[in-house]
Amino acid sequence: MITRRLFDFPAWGLLNELEPIRRQLGRILENIEGSHRIVGAGVFPPVNLTEDKENFYLRAELPGMKTEDLDIQATGNSISISGERKLPGEDANAKVHRRERDDGRFSRMIKLPGEIEVGKINATLKNGILTVTIPKAEAEKPRQIEIK
């Protein structure tokens, strides 16, 4: 009785009709994966954000990037990193088996957990790691309270 009800479920027919569409979408996605894509915002570059009493530290992985290909901008409590990653060209007749390294424009906006001193930000790029030192605004820094 239970098996009959399970297999007589009305949605099974609908699911069977959708199966060819699912297979077609799978084929489309397989074809797209081998083609050229622009680096998506939010996934590149991967970043770490840490802090101490005085500063926030933003570290981003940017292998192969040059400083002239990057733009860093800051506002009251956020910082954006944007630029263009350029990879050496490949033979146009080469068959692509896997493409995990993309080139193209990217943009990443990171909201900070407090206000910052925009005019005192310092950035360095060394060995593919961008390190941005972001001083906290005076109002955000912890203060030692003297007990009387």
pLDDT tens digits for 124-141?
999 999 999 999 988 766
Question: With contact defined as beta carbons under 8 Å apart, do 45 and 106 qualify?
Answer: yes
Report the C-alpha gap between 108 and 44 in whole angstroms.
7
CATH architecture of 47-87+102-140: Sandwich (2.60)
Tell me what percent of the residues of the chain surpass a pLDDT of 90: 36
Q: Does 46 have pLDDT greater than 70?
A: yes
State the DSSP H helix or E strand holding residue 137, giving kind and residue range, or none if neither: none
Cis peptide before 63 (omega within 30 of 0): no
Q: Does 37 have pLDDT greater than 70?
A: no
Domain boundaries, the chain: 2-33, 47-87+102-140
Q: Is 80 helix (H, G, I), strand (E, B) or coil?
A: strand
pLDDT tens digits for 74-120?
988 899 999 988 877 777 788 878 877 777 888 889 999 989 999 99
